[in-house]
Amino acid sequence: MSVSQRVRDVVEPIVADEGVELFDLEQAGSVLRITIDHPDGIDIDAIARVTRAVSRALDEHDPIAGTYILEVSSPGLERPLRTPAHFRWAAGREVAVKTVPGHPAGRRFTGTLLSADVDGITLDTADRPGEPIELPYGEIEKARTVFAWGPTPKPGKGPKASRGAATAAANPTTPPTTATEDEAS
């Protein structure tokens, strides 16, 4: 059994007992990253509870030889997509995909993830509308969801404080005040 599977066997029941989902588990060098999620979001208290419980269990079961750093976090707004389950979860969402170097279709794509199965994904991009791109998982170097921040405000329609400052600068009704050397002393 691999180290990753031994760690997963220890971590999954703990995460479930804490009422959250195990989104991802990754060991990169000496860092063990555990990413947890919940439909209503993750707060710092949940991360702290899971960190304490997982840390105790890993100390007790010792599935990792040597020293390591434990990181527990939420997946964030722009979630990394690494497994077929991650891609299935992201179906219908906007994603950014970076392919392996030299890929014939190109290197970077952003679009709507139409589907994901055991072999790969189908992506609809704005620069190729109506021509979905099929990418096997082995050809994907990196992928993540894209968080849409909302529409850009129209010029001159920003917050009231900014409008007031802009209006005063554009329509000076009183002469600007400057300090003279005598007043500044």
Write down the pLDDT at residue 30: 87
pTM of the predicted protein model:
0.65
According to the model, what pLDDT value does residue 166 have?
44
Could you tell me how many residues make up the chain?
Answer: 185
pLDDT at 144: 94
pLDDT for 183 equals: 43
> For the chain, which domains are there?
3-73 (3.30.300.70), 84-145 (2.30.30.180)
Residues in the chain with pLDDT < 70?
157-185
